[in-house]
């Protein structure tokens, strides 16, 4: 019998939720005979109002980080209000979706739809296993940790500890790693531990799908102090892309500037170092591609402890001040690139290239934990 999985994701609040969803779907193919995955943008279930809220994420995180920090903290404090508001917005369309899809399992990969959907299922007395897949690493919303969920899949022990602090029973938490799309695990020369790092260096500068951060200053620091080539990904931020093209034109062919790109894995494989903010998705994709990280910032709230997380595990180094780029790079390259090689070894030892497969298998097996007895009239389900 075909198993149906409904995934509640998001298309417009960064690219991480979509990437996580893709990493799961590619393991079986959306048209598998045994498993059918149906993906929906949770914000689209709430009509124009909720879609507008979802699409505001990009502009806010690009231009008003302090405002985002306030929003993050307020919604964390008033989690029940967020749940109730979104419940009202999505209830009608969600119930229609359930009727059409008839899922065996529901997976949410966005915090805004955990409590709201659980509210609906509870009030309508609909018994479908509900799982949450946390898309953050250390700093998580209370919205991620609704104890009513049947299971919460955590990418890290740090996120698990936060769930426990929020009152989630330990037996409901499974630490299975962070799922990364398979194309970032290519067998390539970049996956080999570097020997002698000789110039010119190839440096990738990026800042998540929304294109935030001081990319111009980073590029100038590298180009003025090292024999290097710089590739910059401005993401969806078209204004930033145009500004960078104009301001860095004096460096000629040493600089390449991209907008939103789907072949980011190829740019990572071709790079010796990647400058990025502390976006979980970007960080793990760089680690999977075995590209040492230099983390130059993090979105307030949800990402603020990610740089320290990466540095503690020797997955990269933190650069809090752009003016420190030169000594940081010099330190990585000295002694025949000893520290750079150390980071590459740590990345290879850390990354779980089976995380997406493990998570999907866990989701598909969840239903087995529910069957207690079946009659001709109904199925009685319970959590063990």
- Per residue in 279-306, pLDDT (tens digit) is 899 999 999 999 999 999 888 778 889 9
- Per residue in 348-372, pLDDT (tens digit) is 999 999 999 999 999 988 865 555 4
In this structure, are 169 and 248 located in the same domain? no
Give the CATH number of the domain where residue 35 resides: 3.40.50.2000
Please state, in angstroms and rounded to a whole number, the distance separating the CA atoms of residues 267 and 258: 10
- Sheet of 201-206: strand order equals 255-258, 228-233, 201-206, 273-276, 293-295, 316-318
In this structure, are 248 and 101 located in the same domain? no
108 close to 119: Cβ distance less than 8 angstroms: no
- Per residue in 96-155, pLDDT (tens digit) is 999 999 999 999 999 989 999 999 999 999 999 999 999 999 988 889 999 999 999 999
- The total of structural domains in the chain comes to 2
pTM of the model: 0.85
In this structure, are 75 and 169 located in the same domain? yes
In this structure, are 243 and 334 located in the same domain? yes
In this structure, are 102 and 224 located in the same domain? no
In this structure, are 148 and 191 located in the same domain? no
pLDDT(192) > 80: no
In this structure, are 56 and 156 located in the same domain? yes
In this structure, are 287 and 368 located in the same domain? no
2-6, 12-16, 112-116, 221-225: the lowest-pLDDT one: 12-16
pLDDT(380) > 70: no
* Residue range of the domain that includes 228: 182-350
In this structure, are 308 and 363 located in the same domain? no
The H or E element that residue 312 is part of is helix 306-312
In this structure, are 230 and 343 located in the same domain? yes
- pLDDT at site 234: 85
With tokens 């089976």, the residue in question is: 354
In this structure, are 107 and 10 located in the same domain? yes
> Could you give the percent of the chain with pLDDT greater than 70?
82
């Amino acid at each position: 019998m075909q198993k149906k999985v409904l995934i509640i994701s998001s298309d417009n609040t960064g690219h991480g939720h979509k990437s996580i969803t893709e990493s799961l779907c590619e393991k079986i193919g959306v048209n598998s005979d045994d498993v059918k995955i149906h993906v929906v943008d949770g914000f689209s279930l709430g009509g124009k109002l909720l879609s507008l809220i979802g699409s505001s994420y990009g502009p806010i995180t690009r231009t008003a980080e302090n405002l985002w920090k306030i929003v993050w903290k307020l919604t964390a404090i008033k989690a029940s209000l967020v749940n109730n508001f979104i419940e009202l917005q999505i209830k009608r369309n969600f119930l229609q979706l359930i009727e059409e899809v008839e899922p065996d399992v529901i997976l949410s990969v966005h915090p805004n739809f955990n409590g709201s959907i659980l509210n609906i299922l509870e009030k309508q007395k609909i018994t479908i296993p509900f799982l949450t897949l946390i898309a953050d690493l250390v700093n998580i919303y209370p919205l991620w940790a609704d104890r009513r969920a049947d299971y919460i899949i955590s990418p890290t022990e740090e996120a698990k500890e936060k769930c426990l602090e929020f009152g989630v029973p330990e037996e409901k938490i499974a630490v299975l790693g962070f799922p990364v799309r398979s194309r970032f695990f290519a067998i390539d020369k970049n996956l080999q531990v570097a020997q002698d790092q000789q110039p010119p260096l190839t440096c990738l500068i990026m800042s998540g799908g929304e294109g935030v951060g001081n990319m111009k200053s980073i590029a100038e620091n590298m180009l003025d102090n090292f024999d290097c080539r710089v590739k910059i990904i401005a993401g969806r931020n078209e204004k930033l892309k145009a500004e960078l093209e104009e301001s860095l034109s004096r460096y000629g062919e040493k600089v390449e500037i991209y907008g939103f790109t789907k072949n980011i894995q190829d740019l990572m494989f071709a790079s010796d170092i990647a400058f990025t903010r502390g976006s979980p998705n970007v960080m793990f994709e760089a680690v999977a591609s075995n590209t040492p990280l230099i983390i130059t910032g993090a979105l307030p709230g949800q990402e603020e402890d990610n740089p320290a997380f990466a540095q503690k595990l020797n997955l990269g180094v933190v650069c809090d001040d752009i003016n420190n780029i030169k000594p940081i790079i010099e330190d990585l390259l000295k002694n025949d690139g000893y520290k750079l090689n150390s980071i590459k070894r740590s990345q290879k030892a850390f990354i779980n290239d089976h995380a997406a497969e493990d998570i999907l298998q866990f989701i598909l097996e969840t239903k087995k934990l529910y069957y207690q007895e079946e009659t001709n009239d109904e199925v009685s389900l319970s959590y063990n």
